[in-house]
Amino acid sequence: MVRRAILSVSDKAGLVPFARRLAARGVELLSTGGTQRALADAGLQVKPVGEFTQAPEILGGRVKTLHPRIHGGILYRRGLAADEADVKARDILPIDLVVVNLYPFREAVAAGKSFAECVEEIDIGGPSMVRAAAKNAAHVAVLVDPADYDRVAGEIEQSGVVGEPTRFYLMRKAFAHTAAYDAAIAEYLSSRGAPTDKPRHFPDVLGVVYEKAQDLRYGENPHQAGAFYRATREPAEPTIAYAEVLQGKELSYNNLLDLEAALACVKEFDETACAVIKHNTPCGVAKGDTPAEAFARARACDPVSAFGGIVALNRPVDAEAAKELTDLFLECVVAPSYTPEGRALLAAKKNLRLLESPRLAEPRESWKRRPEEARELRSVVGGLLVMDRDLGRIRRDECQLMTRRAPTEQEWRDLLFAWKVVKHVKSNAIVFAQGDRTTAIGGGQTSRVESVKTAVMKAALEVRGSSVASDAFFPFKDGVEEIIRAGATAIIQPGGSVRDPEVVAAADAAGLAMVSTGMRHFRH
């Protein structure tokens, strides 16, 4: 029977309605600080922890709940004779429900607060209570997530107790919560040699904690097991990890990889745009006046590869766009939203996975990344490779002219469009573009000239008159000569090869315009 609960939360979402439901069942409420004030201000009868322990808060509130009457009430094993004798002798009352989430340490770090301020946000009493309650989950329920309030309140209202399956579920969640919290602290501290040091870009200890979102049918191939894990906190930018699946078959390992690639590509554009992905690389990218037009133009870039592909759109899918999407067999579509008419049309494709990522509709400026969200992790046997995500963007005025002829206005537009796409193509990457869409894409080859040849060979659209982006410099002039033969008129590339003079001379001889970015976009 839940007779007594202690509530001490930093995140007060849903707190008052939950506490009202507890109080209505006769549960005595204990609380501290701001949580106590919030409950009292809502008209709830709440006993201060200092009154319950008969020991006042000390050290400016640093010590409130670290007391035998609190931890004894949480940890004692009901029915065990020795524990029953101890609590009776010391007048320790049972605490059957612990509702705690922790000081906002990670938020303080993300806000750029001083070292001393961040250290002050390291919770001590909270994790102690959470771990105590989780250890004693055979008798005590522990809540660290407001999302679980309704489930727990419902069980108490129905039977007066929190059932064993729920207590075990909450136990697992509680230890994951404190593990993530401690990992964040360890990472923050290990990024400094001393308190006064500026933080190092990569800490000595990497605090990586993810929770399983789902088991997958298999991994990349049927003989490989697979699972999907995601960060314990939803990022502030559009993400496949937290997109809502609206319909379709269960997502596969390869679907998730391709969806991430599609979403990353379409996030490059502020204008209405579409990316079609196959095998983790773009096969068509285009802008349009409407989502329907953007998809139709992207599909036309390589209709053969688009079959069975993954589509990302950065605008809501309406009926017109849905009609275009249903004309082609696709595996998945991700968009910020779908109109009712669009959903109705797409429902006819029962196996088509539809995902909704509302943040795609939000301005880029609102995507405030936490430090860990700007990292990319790749595994090797026994280790991790960590680097900054490739979020590099180039403006026209940051480019350097390499050839005698400067690009025309249309060429500049096509070059900058191609440059946004090329970083999402496997290296060696080559992208032809004209009129706000790709006209040919080549990548994943072991030489740059072969990527040019592959792009031209596969092209379903006219490449003559296109502008071309290369993710890295041209080591020889042969790649540029193939671009010239294809009829392209301008090139954007990082520059920096020892053979740049030969490459530029070849471009000048053909009347091409070429600019350098000084930024490479390898994607292995």
Q: Which residues are catalytic?
A: 135, 279
Element (H, E) at 301: helix 291-301
From the centroid of its chain, how far is CA 509?
47
Give CA–CA dist 496/499, Å, rounded.
8
Residue 127 amino acid letter: P
If we measure between CA atoms, which residue out of 326, 321, 319, 328 comes closest to residue 301?
328
Q: Which residues contact 230 (CB under 8 A, 6 or more apart)?
A: 210, 211, 213, 241, 242
Element (H, E) at 188: helix 164-190
Give the 3-state secondary structure of residue 48: strand
Q: Which residues contact 301 (CB under 8 A, 6 or more apart)?
A: 276, 283, 284, 285, 286, 437, 438, 439, 440, 441, 460, 461
Give CA–CA dist 349/322, Å, rounded.
11
Asked if the peptide bond before residue 255 counts as cis, ω within 30 degrees of 0, the response is no
* Neighbouring-strand partners of residue 226: 216
Give CA–CA dist 27/19, Å, rounded.
9
Give CA–CA dist 263/257, Å, rounded.
10
Element (H, E) at 333: strand 330-335
Check if the beta carbon of residue 412 is closer than 8 Å to that of residue 434.
no
Give CA–CA dist 143/99, Å, rounded.
5
Q: Which residues contact 307 (CB under 8 A, 6 or more apart)?
A: 328, 329
* Neighbouring-strand partners of residue 513: 405, 490
Check if the beta carbon of residue 138 is closer than 8 Å to that of residue 170.
no
Q: Please report the beta strands in 113-225, taking only residues with DSSP state E, as ranges in sequence order.
A: 141-143, 210-216
- Tokens standing for 333? 């579509």
DSSP string, 357-406: -GGGGS-GGG----GGGGEEEEEETTEEEEEE-------GGG-EE-SSBP
Give the chain's radius of gyration (CA, Å): 29
Give CA–CA dist 430/441, Å, rounded.
6
Give CA–CA dist 429/442, Å, rounded.
6
For every residue of 50-118, which 3-state class applies, written as one string?
HHHHCCCCEHHHCECCCCHHHHHHHHCCCCCHHHHHHHHHCCCCCCCEEEEECCCHHHHHHCCCCHHHH
